[in-house]
Amino acid sequence: MDRRKAEETFFKWLTAICTIIVVGSALAIVVTVIIKGAPALSLSMITQTPSGGYYTGTAGGGILNAIVGSLYLAFGATALAIAISLPVALFLQRDYAMKSGFTGFVRFVLDILWGVPSIVLGMFMLTIIFFLGMRASLGAGIIVLALLELPIMIRAMDAAIRSVPDKMKEASYALGATRLETSLKVVVRQALPGLLVAILLAFGRAIGDGASIMLTSGYSDRIPTSLGDPVASLPLAIFYLSGLPYSGAKEKAYAAAFILLVIVLLVSMISRYILKKFSKYVVK
């Protein structure tokens, strides 16, 4: 009997310790970024683009190029992804499907797409860039990030829309509404919080990705003025600058990491907030 009790206590503590390790690592990462990044933050850091060239890096300026670049990339990609995801997510509802075999296949394909590593997407996009005669640019970066976002966004939107009860759709049809009207006026309204969270989720993923845009969006100390310009981004700023032996460069990298983390945390907190509060028209 004591043996069993000892075993029970042992495993209770073992699993608790493992949890502490995991939670502790999450904390350690955040704390490290804060400790290194916070001191590096200054008004000039976030409002100026780098001055003094890529290789010296120590000289003044900030990382505005990366901040704005990341926002351009992420917003552009998310907008493009929404335009594609919403029709697909609505399509996946039984209303539109001709046979459920096809929707099952589509979901299957999306699952696979979800698992494709971002460097692979980058290589794919690189080929397309050469094929179309484009250059590594903001536009190419937007496209590849949109590809990255699609599976995440569609899947989350799909889940949100599926949670709309059939009775609600039936009520709308019974009143004579068309499929499209029902989709847009009833389904989207009811699923709105879930849809917004889907968008935020995808946005957060895109802004944090580096491998795919490393190959396709170039890098620049300046803020792009057109879709054809190369663009800096926070992940790449961190990657390149942290590797330089100059302390000024490293500081910029830490600041960039801090800002990136803040953005991602903000996105996640807003998602949580939306799920809780933003349900004015949603029927429970």
Question: Minimum CB separation from another protein for residue 190, in Å?
Answer: 19
Using left for φ > 0, alpha for ψ between -120 and 50, and beta otherwise, residue 53 falls in left
Could you say whether residue 270 binds another protein (CB under 8 A)? no
Choose the binding region for another protein from 27-35, 169-177, 218-226, 276-284 (rule: CB under 8 A): 27-35
User: Hey, what amino acid is at 40?
Assistant: A
* Binding residues among 75-114 for another protein as defined by CB under 8 A: 84, 87-88, 90-92, 96, 105-106, 108-114
Q: How far apart are CA 272 and CA 119, in angstroms?
A: 30
Within positions 43 to 82, which residues make up the interface with another protein, using CB under 8 A?
none
For residue 196, give both structure tokens.
């917004």
Would you state the structure tokens that stand for residue 138, as one six-digit string? 């903001």
Q: Where does this chain touch another protein (CB under 8 A) — which range of 49-57, 187-195, 217-225, 232-240?
A: 232-240
CA distance linking residue 3 with residue 191, whole number of Å: 53
**3-class SS of residue 179:** helix
Asked if residues 19 and 36 have their Cβ atoms less than 8 Å apart, the reply is no
DSSP symbol at 93: S
- For the bound state, the minimum distance from the C-beta of residue 214 to another protein, rounded and expressed in Å, comes to 6
Q: Based on CB atoms, which residue is closest to another protein, 48 or 268?
A: 268
Residues 145-204 that bind another protein (CB under 8 A): 147, 150, 154, 178-180, 204
Query: Judged by CB, which is closer to another protein: 51, or 130?
Result: 130
Tokens of 192: 């709105």
| Of residues 64 and 211, the one with the C-beta less far from another protein | 211
41 binds another protein (CB under 8 A): no
